[in-house]
Structure 1
């Protein structure tokens, strides 16, 4: 098959069209967030108390769907993985940032995306949250020279989990699917056990059948990945196999 994606980098669409497409995609994403109830800060905060685990369950689903779609399309020859931007890893700074981000979600009840969606629905707490992270972004930028060295420390490049675990890419895909399924079941069990929350839709027989079918499909795909020679489309012999943005300090130091 001829490689078709990513569309902007393979020439199927131009850069301007690529940017304009972000508008309808953004509206669809916001619409989905609203109807999933994620514009309510209480629902996001409740996830940290296992009172409503809908948010992490959706996140697990999104990770598995995106992961299987990305590598699956690459295996089928429909996507050139070397043209896909891979976020470079700054291990310790990202760990610290993750903790701060989590604390902010617990206190504010939003992440940046859900906060914007909440503002669109006219929620005052969403406006306050958005104002807060805009001010925080300005402060971070203004004082960047203070923590710039730390920000650029522990640079590992486009470092994948299969490289960290020392296993094949396909086995890593299967492992993440297992973690997502087990994690989802465990969180739902804790929610029911601690809070006694009974979601009538989730407990209904048709919904359980749908869940079972989706889990079976996910495991089947994961097993296929685990035994497929996924290394055939990734060349790690070069130092940076993906197109990544160079470090800011490297750009400044370049002649």
Structure 2
């Protein structure tokens, strides 16, 4: 919502209210689509349920197209959108750790809170692990500070890295997403399990 505040379209207090409502809606949509199920989430890695892949690619397409068209009509200034800085090695290391936790526990940080909100004890245990990991990271930070800050790349965009316009990159992203949707459908048929139905929550 940052650009909308900078351009004085909405106030900071309105921003917090909108963010709160979006957060509730986001959690509701996640739960309704089965993202509170550890079996569904882990199924992404085993191929029998690729809902996660489809949802995230859909979100990427909607977000990219929305920002692109809003910028074209002058409704939003993309230069005000904050992009997280990239520290290559810590990003890779964090991805490996999160991926291992995702496969083992069946949740990512966001979906664990979604599942805990409806009373799932395994998700609550997972959240406990998150806070334990945060504590260990903070207390031991001097030990891995150098690794954490290694290979700083700034805030690069894939479109700039590939040397293409944002419009062309968005078009390519849509094509990649369509390809991944097909891969997901193929995987669900290839790795289908008799003890699992795709519509379960």
Question: TM (normalized to structure 1)?
Answer: 0.72
Do residues 103 (structure 1) and 109 (structure 2) align?
no
Structure 1 residue 92, shift from structure 2 partner: 2.2
Do residues 182 (structure 1) and 179 (structure 2) align?
yes
Q: Choose from 18, 21, 32 the match for 2:18.
A: 21
Where in structure 1 are there 5+ consecutive unaligned residues? 202-255
Name the stretch that deviates more: 111-120 or 170-179.
170-179
Q: Choose from 26, 35, 38 the match for 1:38.
A: 35
Q: What is the rounded CA distance, in whole Å, between the counterparts of 2:12 and 2:136 in structure 1?
A: 31
Q: Is the 8 A contact 2:50 2:184 kept in 1?
A: yes
Structure 1 residue 175, shift from structure 2 partner: 1.6
Do residues 59 (structure 1) and 62 (structure 2) align?
no
Deviations 1:72-96 (A, max 9, x none): 2111111011111111111222122
Show the counterpart of 1:143: 140
Determine which structure has more spread, i.e. the larger CA radius of gyration: 1
Which runs of at least 4 in structure 1 moved beyond 4 Å after TM superposition? 196-201
Q: What is the rounded CA distance, in whole Å, between the counterparts of 1:199 and 1:90 in structure 2?
A: 40
Deviations 1:7-37 (A, max 9, x none): 2222222323322322221111111111101
Show the counterpart of 1:74: 71
Q: What is the rounded CA distance, in whole Å, between the counterparts of 1:116 and 1:200 in structure 2?
A: 22
| Higher relative contact order (CA closer than 8 Å, sequence separation 6+) | 2
Question: TM (normalized to structure 2)?
Answer: 0.91
Q: Is the 8 A contact 2:46 2:191 kept in 1?
A: no
Q: What is the rounded CA distance, in whole Å, between the counterparts of 1:54 and 1:185 in structure 2?
A: 12
Structure 1 residue 163, shift from structure 2 partner: 2.0
CA RMSD, Structure 1 to Structure 2 (Å): 2.1
Name the stretch that deviates more: 7-16 or 35-44.
7-16
Q: Choose from 107, 112, 115 the match for 2:112.
A: 115
Q: What is the rounded CA distance, in whole Å, between the counterparts of 2:179 and 2:123 in structure 1?
A: 32
Show the counterpart of 2:168: 171
Do residues 49 (structure 1) and 46 (structure 2) align?
yes
Deviations 1:22-77 (A, max 9, x none): 22211111111111011011110111101111111101101111111112211111
Structure 1 residue 117, shift from structure 2 partner: 1.0
Where in structure 2 are there 5+ consecutive unaligned residues? none
